[in-house]
Every structure is written in C-alpha cells, then in structure tokens.
C-alpha cells in the first residue's frame, strides 16, 4: 500500500469511487479484474464479482442497509467478540466492529487491476465499547481482483487485549443441499445446534440447520457442481472455521433474511473464538487472513 487518501476528496485511484448507498458511505470497485462494494460501516465487503464470473459472495435481498444495522451477507467483521461472546451475554451480537464507522486509510489499484482498500477502527470511534479497552487499533486490508483477500490486524495500545474475531464470509451456492464442503475431515467441532462436541467424518453436507465451530485451520473447498465451480477458502492465523446455514425455521425468524434464501448460501468463516481467543500484550499485534479463490 503506497497511497494514503482522504476519502472526502476525489483522490481515489481510477477503479475506486466513493458512493452513498441508502445513507451509508461505500466504495465501489470496478477494474478489469473484478467489481465490488465495500461499506465504511463495519468495513463490510458486500460484493465481490471477479470478471466473467457470477457473484461469489452471497448478499440477502432482505438485508438492511441502514446506519447501526448489520448487513446480511458479504463478509461481516466480527470483533471483539463472536456471537454473544464467551460469557454468552455480550451485545451487540458479533461485537461492535460491524456496526461501527471505519475510516478509509489507503486505497490503491495496481496496473493489473487489483484494488486494495485499508480501513481502520480505533476505540475512540466506538460509542459503546461494552467494557473492551479503548486503546486498540483494528485495520482491515481488502484486496480484490481475481482473488479476494482480507487481513484483519488488531494492535494493542498500552493495555493488554483479549478478544474473539471472525471474518464471517457468506458464499453464494447453487443449492446448499447439493454442495459439499471439504477440508475438515476428522476435525473436532462444537455443534451449536445440539450443544455436543463431535468429530467431522468426511465432507460436510447441509441436511439441516448447521452452526458449527471447528477447531481446525485447514483450507476448505466448497464443491458446487450445480454452479460448476469450486470456491477455495484459505486462512492464516485462524484457529477456527465456523460453518453456518440457518435452514428453514431459523431463516423464517430473521427479518433480514428471505424465507427461502437459505438454499443459496453457506457461511465458511475465518475465526479465532472460544478457547482460541487472541491475547495480546501491550503494543503487540495479531493478523488473521482470509483468501478466496475460484476454480
């Protein structure tokens, strides 16, 4: 990243434009390699469409696009807790980061058309920290081209930090009932639907509500014969993989999720949660990366 830009000026490089979507600040990416949309609220990557391919990320047609409401789909950034946190009592769900206004720190498009945006959130940008120390910096670097890469770096200030984090990516699939997710064979997991600890046997198939935290950092592949494609989800510095499909009843209970939309999506998330929460000494940093490719 070489250029630092003021998002209020027209200093954005060719291929990246600022726009407002329903009152939310966003950056539209349009290069020979890909198009995409990134919101300032939550540093939320909502769209990534590699040239010549259908959208890779799933975005609900019922999603809110409103200040203070989470976007349903794309890649929500969950930080500094996941769900209701390890205590089971934290609000807002998945932490304050996805509802907070991040600041554009840098934007670049390289000669091939790969676009990179860096967004930053500090404690002073957050209205209600829920008891989390104010002295931290979170930085999300998004690179979009024929691949999508997100790196979330959290750096502690003068206090130590203890947090959970996830890049909660939603993927578009031809039919969740017909895809296979491989890469987690023999991995231990917590089944959040039943509460039981299990061990994965073979590839994952979605046959009912699925909400699992795998204690495994392996590369996953969504094998989608119906769409004639394989989506590879590679992770770095992420001890957990979360897999989610809400199925029928849970979809109906979510106001920002169409009743039948569950067939077109699955979440494969890059995470450090529960016993794999991150502890940072003062001044220390930690980076977690998600990289998505198509074949």
Task: Point out which residues bind ligand TA6 (CB under 6 A).
Answer: 70, 83, 93-94, 168, 192, 211, 242, 244, 267, 269
Closer to ligand TA6 by CB, 39 or 109: give it.
39
β-strands 103-109, 115-122 pairing: antiparallel
Nearest approach, Cβ of residue 87 and ligand TA6 (Å):
15
> Least distance (Å) from ligand TA6 to the CB of residue 148?
19
Let me know if 286 is a catalytic residue.
no
Beta carbons of 59 and 72 less than 8 angstroms apart: yes
Closest separation between CB of residue 163 and ligand TA6, Å?
A: 16
Distance between terminal CA atoms of the chain?
27
Identify the active-site residue in 108, 168, 234, 261: 168
The residues, any chain, with a CB within 8 Å of residue 206's CB and separated by 6 or more, are 176, 177, 179, 245, 247, 266
Strand partners, 142: 117, 150
Q: Provide, rounded to whole angstroms, the least separation between the CB of residue 128 and ligand TA6.
A: 17
**Which residue, 136 or 247, has its beta carbon nearer to ligand TA6?**
247
Q: How far apart are CA 150 and CA 102, in angstroms?
A: 15
**CA-CA distance, 184 to 207, in Å (whole number)?**
17
Least Å distance, CB 211 to ligand TA6, is: 5
Task: Using alpha carbons, select from 146, 144, 177, 127 the residue that is nearest to residue 75.
Answer: 144
209 is catalytic: no
CA 109 to chain centre: 22
Q: Closer to ligand TA6 at the Cβ: 39 or 244?
A: 244
- The answer to whether the beta carbons of residues 82 and 95 sit under 8 Å apart is yes
Give the Cα separation of 169 and 173 in Å (integer): 13
Nearer of residues 134 and 197 to ligand TA6, judged by Cβ:
197
Nearer to ligand TA6, 168 or 221 (CB): 168
What are the two backbone dihedrals, phi and then psi, of residue 261, each rounded to the nearest 5 degrees? -75, -15
Which residues, including other chains, have CB under 8 Å from residue 141's CB and lie 6 or more apart? 1, 116, 117, 118, 149, 150, 151, 153
| Active site amino acids | 168, 269
């Amino acid at each position: 990243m070489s250029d630092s830009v003021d998002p209020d000026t027209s200093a954005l490089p060719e291929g990246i434009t600022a726009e407002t979507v329903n009152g939310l600040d966003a950056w539209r990416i349009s290069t020979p390699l890909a198009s995409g949309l990134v919101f300032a609220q939550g540093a939320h990557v909502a769209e990534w469409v590699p040239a010549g391919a259908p959208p890779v990320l799933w975005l609900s047609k019922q999603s809110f696009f409103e200040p203070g409401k989470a976007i349903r789909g794309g890649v929500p950034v969950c930080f500094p807790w996941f769900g209701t946190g390890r205590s089971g009592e934290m609000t807002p769900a998945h932490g304050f980061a996805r509802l907070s206004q991040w600041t554009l720190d840098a934007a670049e498009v390289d000669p091939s058309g790969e676009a990179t945006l860096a967004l930053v959130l500090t404690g002073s940008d957050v209205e209600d920290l829920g008891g989390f120390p104010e002295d931290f910096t979170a930085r999300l670097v998004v690179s979009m081209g024929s691949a999508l890469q997100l790196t979330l770096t959290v750096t502690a200030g003068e206090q130590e930090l203890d947090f959970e984090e996830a890049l909660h990516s939603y993927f578009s699939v031809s039919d969740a009932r017909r895809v296979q997710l491989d890469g987690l064979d023999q991995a231990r997991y917590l089944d959040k639907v039943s509460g039981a600890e299990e061990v994965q046997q073979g590839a994952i198939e979605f046959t009912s509500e699925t909400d699992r935290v795998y204690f495994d950092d392996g590369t996953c592949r969504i094998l989608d014969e119906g769409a004639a494609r394989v989506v590879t989800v590679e992770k770095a510095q992420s001890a957990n993989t979360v897999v989610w499909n809400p199925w029928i009843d849970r979809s109906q209970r979510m106001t920002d999720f169409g009743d039948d939309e569950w067939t077109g999506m699955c979440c494969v998330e890059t995470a450090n949660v529960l016993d794999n929460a991150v502890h940072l000494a003062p001044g220390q940093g930690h980076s977690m990366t998600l990289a998505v490719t198509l074949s």
